[in-house]
């Protein structure tokens, strides 16, 4: 793989080429939206093999979702052919089972069994939290503390006495059931790596979406880096998973964990129009804790962003549905045949080119109902529990995300969190009221994360971006709590990049004919 066969480096920018060809030490790469992150990561892996620095079995690539891992495998197969099958590519949980296999009768609890155990642990504890909230809290604390077991024993987990009792009882029930949960897989793998059980196997490690790592995943990366050259790549402006332990400080901490590491930035945006790039950059620039340089749009100029104000969520959904029909030229003649449209012609987009994104699951579900009534085909994935994938006789447990379940040739109806890592020609960001995003009573840190979430939604769009909110005062509904005010993030978009469209006027009802 030399000379004319170095196609994996062709067309890379100067900085991408520097990343791909550097192997003298650890690298931290800040890669903004549409900057060719995955392409650069693949080029780095292929270059290690082409330069005879490693064998495929000595390279590990870790990412966060099954969908991202599958995309990475497919790209590497296109570049390497059968050799790609010998690479280790997968999620952190897949790595964990590989490093610390489950022995004997030990099994991973499914979500239903886990909730039952928590319910039993909750009984008689005096704790007033729900089972679901305790489930999230247990997962959060396990992700936040690589020394979780010691902290559980000493009580240093920032819990009430009642919560600590539930935590300890839950762990006891796991032991009695001969089980571990998903978070335990990562903790077990960390113990194995620190003990050097598998640490020397990999010579080169790439970690994708590094801005999303928890403290335990950060510790896993550091442990792997004791014997391997590490490439960490991601975007701190897209760090949106604090609720599960993914804090932006872990991304920045890479340079402390790996002294002498090289830091580079990929700033060229090849995905979105200049209008979308500049608008999203203007919004995220209001976060005081950010450091990356501004993005450079590489695509031709496009349409201005569109701002809508509607009187109710239902009116908003109807407006979205009608605009989608206009963009695609009618729902495959459905609107024309049913009399909803006076004419039909082929539009510029297909259903799969369009995404509707919301802040909350409840708002997405309400939109789904309205879209269903309109006859538009859409995919509304749910957040499912983890699923076991059998590989070489070993059950590999991985959590699901919404993007793993999207259906082809349908509109995508997703939460902002679920849209992470995806891109669409047309994006509708709906439900942009202050009460939804950033929400009321947020701390400064929470507000900055909500702004990053808004930024993620904006940067999913390649060509057209619609921003929509509900103003309850238009329908003379109460809004004394401020929930129907537009999100303050909308005011951070430069006015020259956005056009506000008035709501379509309602047609007066036709007068009934008199019979006499």
pLDDT tens-digit series, residues 275-330: 999 999 999 999 987 877 899 999 999 999 999 999 999 899 999 999 999 999 86
Evaluate if residue 516 carries a pLDDT over 80: no
Residues 51 and 197 in one domain: yes
DSSP β-bridge partners for residue 397: 388
Identify the H or E element spanning 263. strand 262-266
Residues 304 and 444 in one domain: yes
Which of 45, 63, 47 is closest to 1 using CA atoms? 47
- Residue 447 domain-assigned (yes or no): yes
pTM of the model: 0.90
- Is pLDDT larger for residue 198 or for residue 380? 380
User: What is the 3-class SS of 109-159, one letter each residue?
Assistant: CCHHHHHHHHHHHHCCCCCCCCHHHHHHHHHHHHHHCCCHHHHHHHCCCCC
- Residue 445 domain-assigned (yes or no): yes
Residues 298 and 421 in one domain: yes
Query: Can you tell me which residue has the tokens 């695609």?
Result: 328
Percent of the chain surpassing pLDDT 90: 73
Evaluate if residue 400 carries a pLDDT over 70: no
The number of beta carbons lying within 10 Å of the beta carbon of residue 516 is: 2
Number of domains in the chain: 3
Mean predicted lDDT score pLDDT of the chain: 89
What pLDDT score does 388 carry?
Answer: 52
DSSP 315-354: HHHHHHHHHHHHHHTSSTTHHHHTTS-S-----S--GGGE
Lowest mean pLDDT among 251-255, 264-268, 325-329: 325-329
In angstroms, rounded to a whole number, what is the distance separating the alpha carbons of residues 109 and 93? 14
Whether the Cβ atoms of residue 171 and residue 179 lie closer than 8 Å to each other: no
Evaluate if residue 13 carries a pLDDT over 50: yes
Residues 217 and 322 in one domain: no
Q: Quick one: 456 exposed, middle or buried, by C-beta within 10 A (0-12, 13-18, 19+)? A: buried
- Cβ within 8 Å of residue 315, ≥6 positions away: 470, 503
What pLDDT score does 373 carry?
Answer: 86
pLDDT digits (tens, 9 = 90+) for 91-143: 999 999 988 988 888 999 999 999 999 999 999 999 999 999 999 999 999 99
- Residue 509 domain-assigned (yes or no): no
Asked which of 208, 233, 266 is the last residue of a domain, the reply is 266
In angstroms, rounded to a whole number, what is the distance separating the alpha carbons of residues 486 and 482? 9
CA dihedral sign of residues 205, 220, 142, 140: negative
Banded pLDDT at 370 (limits 50, 70, 90): confident
- Residue 73 domain-assigned (yes or no): yes
- Residue 510 domain-assigned (yes or no): no
Whether the Cβ atoms of residue 139 and residue 174 lie closer than 8 Å to each other: no
- Cβ within 8 Å of residue 137, ≥6 positions away: 129, 159, 163
pLDDT mean over 416-423: 93
Banded pLDDT at 361 (limits 50, 70, 90): confident
Which of 355, 307, 351 is closest to 329 using CA atoms? 351
Asked which of 266, 292, 317 is the last residue of a domain, the reply is 266
In angstroms, rounded to a whole number, what is the distance separating the alpha carbons of residues 318 and 325? 11
Q: What is the CATH number of the domain that holds 362?
A: 3.40.50.300
Banded pLDDT at 149 (limits 50, 70, 90): very high
Banded pLDDT at 333 (limits 50, 70, 90): very low
Percent of the chain surpassing pLDDT 70: 87
Q: Quick one: 453 exposed, middle or buried, by C-beta within 10 A (0-12, 13-18, 19+)? A: buried
Asked which of 180, 199, 220 is the last residue of a domain, the reply is 180
Residues 385 and 472 in one domain: yes
What pLDDT score does 493 carry?
Answer: 98
pLDDT digits (tens, 9 = 90+) for 470-499: 997 776 544 444 567 999 999 999 999 999
Residues 312 and 206 in one domain: no
What pLDDT score does 201 carry?
Answer: 87
The number of beta carbons lying within 10 Å of the beta carbon of residue 514 is: 5
- Is pLDDT larger for residue 338 or for residue 398? 398
In angstroms, rounded to a whole number, what is the distance separating the alpha carbons of residues 48 and 204? 8
Residue 51: which domain range? 7-99+186-266
Residues 294 and 255 in one domain: no
pLDDT digits (tens, 9 = 90+) for 371-393: 888 889 999 887 655 555 545 45
- Residue 507 domain-assigned (yes or no): no
- Residue 515 domain-assigned (yes or no): no
In angstroms, rounded to a whole number, what is the distance separating the alpha carbons of residues 114 and 106? 14
State the binding site for ATP. 31-38
Q: How far apart, in Å, are the Cα atoms of 52 and each of 57, 82, 267, 318, 477?
A: 13, 17, 30, 58, 68
The number of beta carbons lying within 10 Å of the beta carbon of residue 9 is: 14
Residues 205 and 280 in one domain: no
Residues 35 and 163 in one domain: no
């Amino acid at each position: 793989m030399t000379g004319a066969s170095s196609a994996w480096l062709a067309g890379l920018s100067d900085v991408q080429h520097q990343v791909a060809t550097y192997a003298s030490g650890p690298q931290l790469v800040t890669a903004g939206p549409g900057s060719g992150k995955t392409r650069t990561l693949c080029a780095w892996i292929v270059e290690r093999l082409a330069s005879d620095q490693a064998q495929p079995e000595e390279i590990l690539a870790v990412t966060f979702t099954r969908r991202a891992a599958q995309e990475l495998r497919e790209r590497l197969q296109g570049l390497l052919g059968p050799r790609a099958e010998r690479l280790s590519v997968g999620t952190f949980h897949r790595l964990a089972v590989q490093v610390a296999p489950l022995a004997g009768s030990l099994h991973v609890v499914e979500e239903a069994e886990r909730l039952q155990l928590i319910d039993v642990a909750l009984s008689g504890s005096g704790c007033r939290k729900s089972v679901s909230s305790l489930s999230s809290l247990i997962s959060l604390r396990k992700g936040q503390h690589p020394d979780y077991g010691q902290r559980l024993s000493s009580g240093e987990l920032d819990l009430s006495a009642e919560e600590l009792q539930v935590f300890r009882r839950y762990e006891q029930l796991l032991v009695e059931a001969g089980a571990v949960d998903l978070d335990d897989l990562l903790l077990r793998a960390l113990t194995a790596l620190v003990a050097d059980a598998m640490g020397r196997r990999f010579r080169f490690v790439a970690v994708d979406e590094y801005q999303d790592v928890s403290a335990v995943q950060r510790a896993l990366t550091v442990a792997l880096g004791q014997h391997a050259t590490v490439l960490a790549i991601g975007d701190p402006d897209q760090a949106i998973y604090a609720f599960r332990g993914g804090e932006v400080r872990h991304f920045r901490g890479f340079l402390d964990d790996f002294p002498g590491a090289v830091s580079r930035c990929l700033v060229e945006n090849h995905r979105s129009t200049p209008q979308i790039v500049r608008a999203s950059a203007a919004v995220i620039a209001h976060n005081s804790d950010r450091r990356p340089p501004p993005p450079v749009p590489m695509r031709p100029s496009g349409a201005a962003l569109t701002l809508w104000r509607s009187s109710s969520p239902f009116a908003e959904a109807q407006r979205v549905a009608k605009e989608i029909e206009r963009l695609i030229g009618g729902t495959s003649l459905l609107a024309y045949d049913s009399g909803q449209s006076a004419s039909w012609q082929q539009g510029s987009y297909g259903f799969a080119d369009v995404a509707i994104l919301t802040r909350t699951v409840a708002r997405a579900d309400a939109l789904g109902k309205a879209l269903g009534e309109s006859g538009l085909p859409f995919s509304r994935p749910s957040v499912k529990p983890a699923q076991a994938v059998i590989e070489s006789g070993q059950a590999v447990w991985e959590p699901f995300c919404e993007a793993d379940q999207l259906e082809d040739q349908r509109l995508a109806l997703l939460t902002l969190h679920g849209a992470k890592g995806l891109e669409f020609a047309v994006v509708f960001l709906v439900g942009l009221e202050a009460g939804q995003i950033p929400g009321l009573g947020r701390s400064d840190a929470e507000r900055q994360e909500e702004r990053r979430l808004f930024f993620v939604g904006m940067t999913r769009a390649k060509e057209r971006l619609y921003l929509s909110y509900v103003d309850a005062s238009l329908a003379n509904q109460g809004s004394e709590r401020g929930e129907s005010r537009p999100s303050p993030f909308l005011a951070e978009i430069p006015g020259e990049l956005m056009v506000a469209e008035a709501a379509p006027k309602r047609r007066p009802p036709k007068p009934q004919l008199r019979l006499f």
